Amino acid sequence: MKTPNYLGDFAALTPDKPAVIDAATGERLSYRELDERSNRLAQLLYAQGLRRGDRIAVLMENHLRYFEVAWAAFRSGLLLTAVNRFLTAAEVAYIVQDSGARAVVSSNAMAEVAAELTDMMPLCERRLMVDGAIASWEPYEQAVTAMPSTRLAEEWVGGTLLYSSGTTGQPKGIVRAIPRTRFTDDNTLDPRLAMMQHYGFDADTVYLSTAPLYHAAPLSYGTNLQFYGGTVVFMRKFDAQEALALIERYRITHSQWVPTMFIRLLKLPDAERQRHDLSSHRVAIHAAAPCPPEVKCRMIEWWGPIVQEYYGGSEGNGLTVLDSREALARPGSVGRAKVGVLRICDDDGNVLPAGQDGLIYFERETLPFRYHNDPGKTCAAQHPRHPTWTAIGDIGHLDADGYLYLTDRRFFMIISGGVNIYPQAIEDALALHPSVQDAAVIGVPDPEMGEAVKAVIEPAPGVAPTPALAEELIGFLRGKVARYMLPRSLDFIDVMPRLPTGKLYKRALRERYARPAEENRA
């Protein structure tokens, strides 16, 4: 007998079990409802003429409908492009056009952007709007209700065509290899689910999704859990105190976070941190950005050895994993390779010995991804002599036992007086000061040094951004980072341009401070 491992299986076995819960309202979508609703949309898209390999896009806030749109694509052989809901209309239009999406699903909450998009997507044949409609957009509910809830005759396994966050340039579409198989009665478990097995996801899992669903990890972990028959509880917007309450309320077993969320959890008053029963919580996964070692250590002290880290990009070119025991033994490491073979190389592609920083490559047997419509960028990600070794721009080193340590993004490196300075270590130190809510470090033009180190600080709530605080923060860094890494200047900002996925939008800061240093100080 086949092991249940597909949405349709659980729609029959556990039809009334919640597949998804909206934490903000408590509204639920059962496995039967998710199966039927995604079938209706799949039928609609098929009737429109979309076939395996075609693309659709979704532009929505975190919403129950997100999952049925995703599953309609995944059970139709289509590629889903999940678009960052915080982009401007022009930025959204670029992604929709570049992806070749033939249909777009948005929501009434995005009506203002959607109205601007109407005439900016000439390749899009169909525009559907959830929770209402505006001119040139069809009411989603009306369109899908008219379609049958039965499965397509042929259900090809679909996938995603996601775009990089664009924090350092124009977003790039990432085309990852997907199985050329159908969902059939004798199908085996999708190979993309290996990480779910690693963390022990199963039908009893209740997973807290804390981040936007347009991001690769929340989307994939949420929908992949439905291959196992578990329940996803998603937050519309992250709030540290509410996240703890949800763990208690829904008896959360698994969760996923980014380091900025950990920092905000740790800055809650002790009474708030201790008031909730977290005993159901078995696995707390984090990724997306380097985590300061002190933050990791404090989270393990609080939650116990349930904190698990992985490192890997949306490109899926490789993966490392690290458990709590390893994290305490090797502070700052992101683990050893689980997918691919790690190679650290210099600018000429020569493999470097342990302990030396260089560009991080993952060696694979075949090329695991390509950038959509951009063979030049695909080529730039490949090793100069080994085309199946790929890098996504991170700098780091290995220790003698093969554990990886991230230094920073290559694009964020500051060159001051001929010295390479990586901001991450400075940011990690600043983030631990009680008066700091968020911190960023960038290079700004300097007539003498080429670039000078500048810190940009979002003060903690209730903290005044004064010259005295600026002096205190620079003093706080002394002894924590090398002298040449100390910021030459420090500015305050009301809200840090950090994406909801946890990634810092440094391009915005660099553009803001692109003038020579003396002009910025004026």
Higher pLDDT, 266 or 413: 266
Q: What is the CATH number of domain 413-521?
A: 3.30.300.30
Per-residue pLDDT at 421: 80
Per-residue pLDDT at 522: 33
Assess contact for 165 and 171: CB atoms under 8 A: yes
Q: How much of the chain, in percent, has pLDDT values that exceed 90?
A: 70
Residue in the block written with tokens 């240093």: 517
pLDDT band for position 517 (50/70/90)? Answer: very low
Per-residue pLDDT at 500: 64
135 Cβ contact partners less than 8 Å away, ≥ 6 residues apart: 115, 118
Q: Do domains 31-186 and 413-521 have the same CATH topology?
A: no
Q: Tell me the CA distances in angstroms from 194 to 10, 190, 329, 335, 509, one per residue in order.
A: 20, 8, 26, 17, 38
- Angle at the Cα of 72 from the Cα atoms of 315 and 107, rounded to 5 degrees: 90
For residues 375-382, average pLDDT: 93
State yes or no: pLDDT of 75 exceeds 50: yes
Per-residue pLDDT at 27: 98
State yes or no: pLDDT of 519 exceeds 60: no
| Mean predicted lDDT score pLDDT of the chain | 90
Question: Which tokens in the block code for residue 52?
Answer: 């395996």
DSSP labels, 419-436: EEE-THHHHHHHHTSTTE
Q: Which range is least confidently modeled, 24-38, 166-180, 272-286?
A: 166-180
Residue in the block written with tokens 């000061």: 433
Per-residue pLDDT at 518: 42
Higher pLDDT, 425 or 235: 235
Q: How much of the chain, in percent, has pLDDT values that exceed 70?
A: 92
For residues 28-39, average pLDDT: 98
The model's pLDDT over 111-135, given as tens digits with 9 standing for 90+, comes to 999 999 999 999 899 999 999 989 9
* Three-state secondary structure call for residue 190: coil
State yes or no: pLDDT of 151 exceeds 70: yes
Type of residue numbered 268: L
pLDDT band for position 301 (50/70/90)? Answer: very high
Q: Tell me the CA distances in angstroms from 260 to 58, 107, 278, one per residue in order.
A: 26, 28, 20
Assess contact for 173 and 99: CB atoms under 8 A: yes
Domain boundaries, the chain: 31-186, 413-521
CATH 3.40.50.970 assigned to 31-186: no
pLDDT band for position 506 (50/70/90)? Answer: confident
The contacts found for 427-433 with CB under 8 angstroms, 24 or more apart, are: 428/290, 428/292, 428/293, 428/294, 429/292, 429/476, 429/477, 429/480, 429/481, 430/455, 430/457, 430/473, 430/476, 430/477, 431/263, 431/292, 431/295, 432/292, 432/294, 432/295, 433/473, 433/476
Question: Which tokens in the block code for residue 102?
Answer: 């033939």
State yes or no: pLDDT of 255 exceeds 70: yes
The model's pLDDT over 56-71, given as tens digits with 9 standing for 90+, comes to 999 999 999 999 999 9
Q: Tell me the CA distances in angstroms from 54 to 42, 50, 119, 369, 498, one per residue in order.
A: 12, 6, 21, 17, 32
Q: Which range is least confidently modeled, 164-173, 176-185, 249-258, 503-512?
A: 164-173
Per-residue pLDDT at 465: 95
Per-residue pLDDT at 259: 86
Mean pLDDT comparison of 60-69, 422-431, 512-521, highest-scoring range: 60-69
State yes or no: pLDDT of 184 exceeds 60: yes
Query: What are the residue ranges of helices labelled H in 382-466?
Result: 424-431
Q: Which range is least confidently modeled, 245-254, 296-305, 449-458, 465-474?
A: 449-458
For residues 205-228, average pLDDT: 94
